Amino acid sequence: MRVVLEARQKGAAVRVQELEAELERVRAALVEAEEVLRCRVIGLEQYLEALAEADVPAVVVGGVPPSKPVGPRRAVPRRQDATGAEVLSVDYQALMAAAA
């Protein structure tokens, strides 16, 4: 009977060691995933800030024209600027003609 109990104890000890090793692996993976998430959050915040700055009109200081804002470019003009299809790029004009 003693041999059986000692074997069970050894088996439980081995299982505990395996689970501890697995826990360390999971903790390391969690740290890596949290770092990736942190970088993605920062990147998204920077992107949104750049978009917000691109939409704010630049102020001319000392008569020097502002540089072109950095950010995504629009292939299609803003709605208030668009008076007709002639202000669209050639590709979009072709699409409008095909749709008409």
Supply the pTM of this predicted model: 0.45
SS3 sequence, the chain? CHHHHHHHHHHHHHHHHHHHHHHHHHHHHHHHHHHHHHHHHHHHHHHHHHHHHHHCCCCCECCECCCCCCCCCCCCCCHHHCCCHHHCCHHHHHHHHHHC
Q: Provide the pLDDT for residue 90.
A: 78
Q: What is the pLDDT along the chain (100 residues), one digit of tens a residue?
A: 999 999 999 999 999 999 999 999 999 999 999 999 999 999 999 998 888 887 765 555 555 555 655 556 655 555 565 567 777 777 777 877 888 7
Q: Provide the pLDDT for residue 99.
A: 80
Q: Provide the pLDDT for residue 5.
A: 95
